[in-house]
Amino acid sequence: MHHYVHNSLIHNTQKLERTPMPLNRGMDKKMWYIYTMEYYSAIKKNEFMKFLGKWMDLEGIILSEVTQSQKTLHNMYSLISGY
């Protein structure tokens, strides 16, 4: 990669604002442990594709829950403001 492009990418990423998301360290560690154990278990049993499908479904469920909570939040704002 050209160094001008690389430098501009670094410069642009430093300006990005972080989204305020509550971080639950305990839950993150548990999810990482579960993910890691299932990953190595699937490799050991030669069932990697089944494992991959399950975790891809889980990602969709989590994303739909996040978008649903955002919809609920915006709906509450519209009810409060009267729009």
So what's the pLDDT on residue 40? Answer: 75
So what's the pLDDT on residue 35? Answer: 76
Whether residue 15 is contained in a domain is answered as no
pLDDT over 60 (residue 47): yes
Q: Range of 74's domain?
A: 24-81
Whether residue 58 is contained in a domain is answered as yes
Whether residue 14 is contained in a domain is answered as no
Whether residue 3 is contained in a domain is answered as no
Render pLDDT for 17-36 as a digit per residue (tens, 0 to 9).
Answer: 555 555 566 767 777 777 78
Whether residue 68 is contained in a domain is answered as yes
Considering its fold, how many domains does the chain have in total?
1
pLDDT bin (cut points 50, 70, 90) of residue 80 is low
Whether residue 39 is contained in a domain is answered as yes
pLDDT bin (cut points 50, 70, 90) of residue 62 is low
3-state secondary structure the chain: CCHHHHHHHHHHHHHCCCCCCCCCHHHHHHHHHHHHHHHHHHHHHCCHHHHHHHHHHHHHHHHHHHHHHHHHHHHHHHHHHCC
Q: What integer is the mean pLDDT of 48-71?
A: 67
